[in-house]
Amino acid sequence: MKTRLSQRLTRFPAAWACGLLLAILPCLAFGQDFGTLPENAFDTSDPAVMTPAVDAAEQTQATAQPAQGSADQQLVVPRRLTDIVKSGGPLMIPIGICSFILVVFVFERFISLRKGRIIPGPFTKRFLEQLREGELNQDVAVTLCDRNNSAMANVFKAGVQKWGRPAVEVEQAVLDEGERTSNRLRKYLRLINGVATVCPLLGLLGTVLGMIYAFDSIAAVSANVADPKALIAAGISQALYTTAAGLTVAIPALIAYLSFSSRVDKHVMEIDSLGMKVVNLISAEALVQETKSKSNRKVA
């Protein structure tokens, strides 16, 4: 009873709570200033800084003109996380949702795929030893498996329910339950893989939209726009922010998917190996062989 309760407490609701906490931690930085640029860090009146590719004549003319604006003019850049999100455009919202989903389900899979939950060592070792020593019958073995209620115990139970049947039937029961267990272990992995696939596409879409905005701003020069350079910079900034955000979410998602897939494959192979040991102990052929061995020892 305590084992089932502890398993329920550490399953999905706990993962949701901890994942939510981890996902909202960046929100604490919304009001934090990322730092200010020093005064005159980029002097817009200095052609060597802002326009290094100008002609020599234009450079001479620009240096001859007096600096426009106040001396303490600063470059306006996003300094807070909220500014970055706003600069990235509306596609930052689905990317943020994907990041929240990623944190929640990675945390849930990290807990659920622990080896101690899938293949509990003490139970597995003791169960096989008792079967080998002939200390268990079918009813007791099923009760032990129900009490443990792990993935390995479910596979053992499927084989024990075919106790005394031909090895082919017992093996098939073990393989069928192993397949169902494998599907349960791969739960949510497709979702994580989906996040890894969708986020770069969202970033690419944001890049395309930002570049469209930038080129529209270039075309707006003929419409007597006061400062088309600012509009062009805004469009390029949006393109870069969405691309960076999409890759920031997609790369950890892909790493998590590959890691969990490898862990599941390892667990499935071990479950299959242990299940075959049960087949070799409780099948009809194994029981007949054990009876013959006992008779020979008695005669000897």
281 pLDDT above the threshold of 70: yes
Number of Cβ within 10 Å of residue 160's Cβ equals 27
Instruction: Please tell me which residue, 219 or 106, carries the higher pLDDT value.
Output: 106
For residue 293, pLDDT over 90 is answered with: no
How far apart CA 194 and CA 254 sit, in angstroms, is 9
pLDDT attached to residue 226: 56
Mean residue pLDDT across the chain? 74
What gap in Å lies between CA 27 and CA 282, rounded to an integer? 57
pLDDT value at 299 more than 70: no
The pTM is what? Answer: 0.68
The C-alpha atoms of residue 221 and residue 232 are separated, in whole angstroms, by: 10
Confidence band of 201 (pLDDT split at 50, 70, 90):
very high
User: Does the pLDDT value for residue 263 go beyond 90?
Assistant: yes
User: If you average pLDDT over residues 121-131, what whole number do you get?
Assistant: 91
For 11, list phi and psi in degrees, rounded to 5. -90, -140
> Which tokens go with 116?
């101690």
Check: CB of residue 129 under 8 Å from CB of residue 281: no
Instruction: Provide the total of helices (H) and of strands (E) in the chain, helices listed first.
Output: 14, 0
Residue 170 has pLDDT above 70, yes or no: yes
Greater model confidence, 277 or 2: 277
Closest CA to 44 of 227, 279, 287, 274: 227
Higher-scoring residue by pLDDT: 235, 135: 135
- Lowest-pLDDT range of 78-92, 191-205, 225-239, 251-265: 225-239
Query: Could you tell me if residue 188 is left (phi over 0), alpha (psi between -120 and 50 degrees) or otherwise beta?
Result: left
Find out whether 104 and 61 touch, Cβ atoms under 8 Å.
no
Residue 290 tokens, joined: 């054990």
Contact partners, residue 73, CB within 8 Å, separation at least 6? 40, 44
pLDDT at 4: 45
Residues 95 and 245 sit within 8 Å (Cβ to Cβ): yes
d(CA 11, CA 109): 9
Q: How many angstroms separate the CA atoms of 35 and 38, rounded?
A: 9
Amino acid at 23: A
The pLDDT tens digits for 45-102 are: 444 434 444 444 444 444 444 444 443 444 455 456 667 677 777 888 899 999 999 9
| Cα 120-123-124 angle, rounded to 5 deg | 80
Q: How confident is the model at residue 265 (pLDDT cuts 50, 70, 90)?
A: very high
Query: What is the distance between the alpha carbons of residues 161 and 173, in angstroms, rounded to a whole number?
Result: 9
Considering all CA atoms of the chain, what is the largest pairwise distance in Å, rounded to the nearest integer?
116
Residue 43 structure tokens: 């002097």
Could you tell me the two tokens for 215?
A: 């080129």
Q: How sure is the predictor about 298, in pLDDT bands with cuts at 50, 70 and 90?
A: low
Q: What is residue 23's predicted lDDT score, i.e. its pLDDT?
A: 47
**Residue tagged 């070799």 (tokens):** 280
What pLDDT is recorded for position 294?
A: 67
Residue 35's H or E segment, with its range, is none
- The answer to whether residue 134 scores a pLDDT higher than 80 is yes
pLDDT at position 229 is 66
Provide the 10 A C-beta neighbour count for residue 211: 14
